[in-house]
Amino acid sequence: MFHFIQILAALPLRLFYPTKFHGKKNMPKGACIISSNHTSNLDAVIFAVHTWEKKYYLAKKELFKGKLRSAFLKSLGCIKIDRQRSDVTAIKQCLSVLKKNKKLFIFPEGTRVHNENMELGEVKQGTAMFAIKAKVSIVPVFIAHKPKIFRKNHVFIGQPFDLSQFYDKKLSAEELDAASAVVAQKMNDLRQYAMNSLTKKK
């Protein structure tokens, strides 16, 4: 069902929102967490239709309004999360996805952030927590622009890294803050690389 929906949605989305992916070879096989900046509600959908393998996406519950939209998002692999509380159900679903050797896509800022220089907002602890608990690598992703109709966008996929230095430790708030700082640094390094690459092409 997923690939059927993917094919149906791919043609109009690729036409209206053309996107070039850089570094696809960096995506590992099997379980990992894809950690991306967040520019638009279309980010996850565009990523889903441009990459064949099914991935699972954490998405705020407000997006699931209406049966048709909810069914569409779930078919793409979206996991509904309540950002106003500790959503145990969503946490268990995410860990289950990774345990089944699947990929989990997270926006670690927790909300859309869009500014002139595409600077990263505050990185929340969730990405690091999932990566440490599941002992999987993290793949940083940088979306160069907020999607606009008929404007070519660029998505950069960076080298995977892990947080093995935090494995088997008590995950205190301090440890999670330190691990999240590593995630933020890797994402900012990719952002700088992407911005430099795009500047050279102009």
- In the predicted structure, residue 181 carries a pLDDT above the cut 90: yes
Q: Which domain holds residue 141?
A: 27-39+85-201
Q: Determine, yes or no, domain membership for 123.
A: yes
% of residues, the chain, pLDDT over 70: 98
Q: Determine, yes or no, domain membership for 69.
A: no
Beta strands in the chain (DSSP E): 19-22, 32-36, 56-60, 78-81, 103-106, 138-143, 153-157
**pLDDT tens digits, 38-78:** 999 889 888 888 888 889 988 888 888 888 888 878 877 88
How many separate domains does the chain show? 1
Q: Determine, yes or no, domain membership for 46.
A: no
Per-chain mean pLDDT for the chain: 90
**pLDDT tens digits, 95-154:** 999 999 999 999 998 877 777 778 888 999 999 999 999 999 999 999 999 989 999 999
